Amino acid sequence: MAGNRGVVYQGAGRVEVQDIAYPEFELKDGPGVNPANVGRKVPHGVILKVVATNICGSDQHMVRGRTTAPEGLVLGHEITGEVVEKGSDVEFVEVGDLVSVPFNISCGRCRNCKERRTEICLNVNPDRPGSAYGYVDMGGWVGGQAEYALVPYADWNLLRFPDRDRAMEKILDLTMLSDIFPTGYHGCVTAGVGVGSSVYVAGAGPVGLAAAASAQLLGAAVVIVGDMKEERLAQARSFGCEAVNVAEGDPGEQIERILGSPVVDCAVDAVGFEAHGTGKDAEKEAPASVLNTAMALTRAGGSIGIPGLYVTGDPGASDEAAREGSLSIRLGLGWSKSHAFFTGQCPVMKYHRELMAAIMTDRVQIAKAVNAVAIPLEEAPEGYRSFDEGAASKYVLDPNGYLGTG
């Protein structure tokens, strides 16, 4: 049996690359594993040799200590890999297939899965609808920032790349299919982005940049990205977006200088619960700030897509209400403008095949848009530190040397 190494959460601000168990076709007890999932058989699963696995902003929330994630949790929900073993119930996926793994774990059998709501599968997480690899309160499925990873319900979950050689040529783009590209795209679709739209994207991290690229793919006339990190705003400008530094003042006034109007057709919140204020309050954490700004900026009758993460438990929040996910949202403003709000995880399977086609036909260069940078698995702690400091990069881990970093 092969060995295995993975990125392990060690408490607030710390991750380490450690020896971890090689996957088996059964869920074992461990940090974050729901007791009801211990011993669960996975004959419908496959074991992947991981080709690429990415550091995500959602991982960073845990690593900052802003969730109830237990120490010892193996991180990573953005996985692309090669099938090296298959369970006895796997019929269509074959050893040697190169595949993308949706970060949502879903069974394909429950009501929600059959209605294409794979982000809220009813059968994979005893705690609540919806599950993901290596994430707090998501059932305890081991994360994929590792050399090898287990994927359940493989025939259902996996997206196979039809041409291995062509896929490897675009692997930095294709690895974004596991999460941030569909997530950014979902934010835009739910916000109603279409041909000729004006779009405000809050946040120039990888999901925000993916949303901006998605808005362009959907035909937006102008995409405006807001952030307070100049390096990230420069990355947004590099592929044709307008940019506003929210630390320099009211985003609406800056947008008016760009559009001639302080409102946009659509808004996307790619920040989430660790939001800060704007202008003189930019250094202060204000978890409802982006949502309230989005309502102020979006025209009456417009929609707001919210792929940014909001949580039910935030031990690091600045006030008691926010520790339970209760935020001071100006719902009356949204109601008076007849806004539609769309929240929750992206149902990756709803979009990933079409987005794969867009990548393979050169309709979009998502790796360039998010500034994908491949690093060895052993450099994951440095990647987390750099990302936390606001680097305008999407770090892609290379556990087995497929990307040539070793």
- Counting the structural domains of the chain, the total is 2
Same domain, 175 and 186: no
pTM of the model: 0.96
325-380, pLDDT tens digit by residue?
A: 899 999 999 999 999 999 999 999 999 999 999 999 999 999 999 999 999 999 99
Last-in-domain residue among 308, 323, 342:
342
Same domain, 205 and 244: yes
| pLDDT at residue 90, as a whole number | 98
Q: Give the C-alpha separation, 286 to 327, whole Å.
A: 9
Same domain, 149 and 229: no
In a domain? residue 354: yes
| pLDDT at residue 312, as a whole number | 85
Same domain, 25 and 143: yes
Same domain, 10 and 94: yes
Q: What are the Cα distances from residue 19, in Å, to 1, 6, 53, 77?
A: 14, 6, 17, 18
Same domain, 246 and 375: no
Q: What's the mean pLDDT in 170-180?
A: 98
Q: What's the mean pLDDT in 39-45?
A: 97
Q: What's the mean pLDDT in 398-406?
A: 94
Same domain, 94 and 222: no
Query: Is the pLDDT assigned to residue 185 strictly greater than 90?
Result: yes
Q: What are the Cα distances from residue 374, in Å, to 258, 306, 379?
A: 35, 28, 10
Same domain, 203 and 296: yes
Q: What's the mean pLDDT in 288-308?
A: 97
| pLDDT at residue 314, as a whole number | 84
Give the CATH number for residue 307: 3.40.50.720
Query: Is the pLDDT assigned to residue 313 strictly greater than 80?
Result: yes
Q: Give the C-alpha separation, 49 to 86, whole Å.
A: 12
Give the CATH number for residue 40: 3.90.180.10
Which residues, in sequence order, are CB contacts of 183 under 8 Å at separation 6+? 207, 210, 211, 307, 345, 346, 348
Same domain, 39 and 134: yes
- Tell me the percentage of the chain whose pLDDT exceeds 90: 91
In a domain? residue 214: yes
Q: Give the C-alpha separation, 4 to 399, whole Å.
A: 10
Same domain, 111 and 186: no
In a domain? residue 374: yes
In a domain? residue 403: no
Same domain, 225 and 270: yes
Q: What are the Cα distances from residue 363, in Å, to 193, 214, 359?
A: 17, 11, 6
In a domain? residue 282: yes
| pLDDT at residue 164, as a whole number | 95
Binning pLDDT at 50, 70 and 90, where does residue 216 land? very high
| pLDDT at residue 1, as a whole number | 56
Q: What are the Cα distances from residue 334, in Å, to 216, 301, 303, 323?
A: 26, 9, 10, 24
Query: Is the pLDDT assigned to residue 163 strictly greater than 60?
Result: yes
Would you say 342 and 305 are in contact if contact means Cβ atoms under 8 Å apart? yes
107-122, pLDDT tens digit by residue?
A: 999 999 999 999 999 9
Q: For all residues of the chain together, what is the average pLDDT?
A: 96
In a domain? residue 404: no
Tokens representing residue 371 in the block: 């500034």
In a domain? residue 96: yes
Helix, strand, coil in percent for the chain, rounding step 5 = 30, 20, 45
Q: What's the mean pLDDT in 220-233?
A: 97
Q: Give the C-alpha separation, 364 to 351, whole Å.
A: 14
Last-in-domain residue among 295, 316, 342:
342
In a domain? residue 84: yes
What number of residues does the chain have?
Answer: 406
Q: What's the mean pLDDT in 121-150?
A: 96
What is the domain extent for residue 269?
A: 182-342
Binning pLDDT at 50, 70 and 90, where does residue 263 land? very high
Same domain, 197 and 274: yes
| pLDDT at residue 321, as a whole number | 87
